Structure 1
Amino acid sequence: MKHIVPVKWLLARLYESDVVIVDCRFQLGKPESGREAYEESHIPGAVYLDLEKDLSAPVGEHGGRHPLPDAAELTVKLGKVGISNDTRVVAYDDQGGAMASRLWWLLKYLGHENVFVMDGGFTAWKNAGCPVSAEQKVLIPARFVATVQHNLLVEVDEVRESLGTGRYVLVDSREAPRYRGEAEPIDRVAGHIPGARNLFWAEGRQADGTWKSAEEQRERFADAGLSQDDEIVVYCGSGVTATPNVLALGEAGFTRVKLYAGSWSDWISWQDNPIAVGDEEARNDG
């Protein structure tokens, strides 16, 4: 696996000086619970970064529920917790890898390649009998210089202009009922971007919560009709749970993958954007 490391890998490198471990635990609707969980117990030496305070910008009229953070501000925050351009970063959460994948993607976006997600999250670490701690590390600041990779990102106007042209293959990472517009527990409008295919992000994991192998991911994407020649744009509700699909596509060898960071919550903030409901395949066949 290119971007995912097992518990044993991290355990063997726990005290290596160039490794920074980042706890990304966060629960939507309970914004303080992740930090509280970290303060109670975490992987020894781990630092904490908060999805909404650190890994997102404040919510505005557009940009979705978790807008991308300002690159310069994020760079400073990363440096403050000890991440430099030479650091090996390992992120974990207890949300199936969704929050850790957000940090993974942001670091890739800022040009930092040496970043990984720990397989199975904090629960797998504890279940393996590995050490935990409530002690918070003394932070030694580092200097991180970003080289923003704009090619990893698309904006709303690019998605809008691509509709019907075949330029992008759109992948909607939400659960099927939300994609089809049958249920929408979070956003004010239900449905999906016209033409998008539905690939629920959590289907990239095994039943035990660990990630599927690269070969299994390739089969998963082949079954959905994706080709490695496609230029793929991945989105979800707010740009967070799309990132595990981006990571899984990378594991499977897809190289032409972009994130629509604002995602559905940004799409519906623009009044004239078209909205589709139901199942694309079924409608196309009919």
Structure 2
Amino acid sequence: MTVTQSLVCTTRRMTMRPTLLNRSWLMLLLLAFVTAASACGGTAVEQDDTRPESERNAEPAPLNSKVYVTAQELQQFANEGATIIDARALEDYEAGHFPGAVHTDGGKAWKDDNGFLITDVVEAQQKVRDLGIDRDRKVVIYADARDSGAGRLFWTLEYFGHGEVYLYPNDYSALKGELAFEEQTDAPSIEEGDFVVAYRDSVLATRDEVEQAVNGDLEAILIDTRREGEFNGTEDRGDPRQGYIPGAVWYYYENVWDENNELRSKEALRTEFDEVGLLQENAVLLPYCQTGTRSATIYAVLRWLGVDNAQNYDGSWVEWSDSELPIEQPQNQ
């Protein structure tokens, strides 16, 4: 891989300001990004940020520390005007949903063709606003317990700079059973929100940061949240190489729920995470999976446990395996 290709692959979001670069250097840089884009499978460069200056200079809101809510809290937030998002499959939503809930796919609707989070800030902001989301109004996401799209959407909105995003962690049937609401089948009319994207880079892990962790230049714990077959390289999902990122600890994301599809207690998860080496003081926690979707659930759980230095690796195995960076397989150890 050339230096130019490496630059494209590791730079996931870059805003170029003509005032800081002369025209000839800017044109050369743009040309390099365009010609090297196919080498790493990622988006070469985001479109120009044409938003007003006040929006371009916006800061992300402080993050809440609650993360997960009960059915009763979801109802309370809804009564107070929160945006409620149903992240299940569209056919499930149309068959019946929480009154007033809007729908979006928690994963694919927010990704490009390569599985990476969309990088066009204007497009991203409009997608959030189209859900009726405001800057200063709570958002609560529900799906079914093991639906990784809900966690992915939670992380996406936090990365975009929202600070009041919450998750209902259990099955939709449990929510309906606890609240005994009359389902709606029609989508509500949506008034466009005023949300402003202000990227929170502290919750996004780039390939460069993961490489630093592998090389020992960053104190971090890599958490592989895929199925065990994906981790050990016996399950082929069509990637160039199979295995895991060197040094990663395996912890399947679905293990955070019990046999009744209820989120396990903080005490149980904290104890288990500590036993397998996922909670180390001063270490950055970097969960990953195939395309940063399942790992977003572990990101949310870590936030719930009070970890303030968790970063979801958006590129995950799709990006890492499509490179010359080292991989490991248990049978090779």
Question: Shorter-chain-normalised TM-score: which range?
Answer: 0.7 to 0.9
Q: How far 1:57 moved relative to its partner?
A: 2.1
SS at match of 2:117: coil
Maintained 8 Å contact 1:91/1:100: yes
Compute the TM-score of the two structures, normalised by the length of structure 2.
0.74
Question: Following the alignment from structure 2 to structure 1, what is the Cα–Cα distance between the partners of residues 240 and 181?
Answer: 43
- The residue number in structure 2 matching 1:216 is 268
**1:81-160, aligned counterparts within 5 Å?**
81-94=131-144, 96-128=146-178, 129-160=180-211
2:328 to 263, 276, 285: 276
Q: How far 1:145 moved relative to its partner?
A: 1.2
Maintained 8 Å contact 1:21/1:89: yes
- The residue number in structure 1 matching 2:15 is none
Q: How far 1:52 moved relative to its partner?
A: 5.0
Maintained 8 Å contact 1:49/1:55: no
Q: Which is further off, 164-173 or 236-245?
A: 164-173
Paired residues in the alignment total 265
Q: How far 1:248 moved relative to its partner?
A: 0.9
Question: Following the alignment from structure 2 to structure 1, what is the Cα–Cα distance between the partners of residues 74 and 156?
Answer: 21
- The residue number in structure 2 matching 1:8 is 72
Q: State the identity as a percent.
A: 27
Higher relative contact order (CA 8 A, sep 6+): 1
SS at match of 2:215: coil
Q: Pairwise CA RMSD of aligned residues?
A: 2.0
Q: Which is further off, 127-136 or 80-89?
A: 127-136
Maintained 8 Å contact 1:163/1:195: yes
**1:226-245, aligned counterparts within 5 Å?**
226-245=279-298
Q: Which of the two has greater helix per residue?
A: 2
SS at match of 1:232: strand
Instruction: For structure 2, list consecutive stretches of 5 or more residues without a partner in the other structure.
Output: 1-64
Instruction: For structure 1, list consecutive stretches of 5 or more residues without a partner in the other structure.
Output: 26-33, 60-65
- The residue number in structure 2 matching 1:205 is 257
Maintained 8 Å contact 2:239/2:322: no
Maintained 8 Å contact 1:24/1:50: yes
Maintained 8 Å contact 2:107/2:152: no
SS at match of 2:312: strand
Maintained 8 Å contact 1:235/1:263: yes
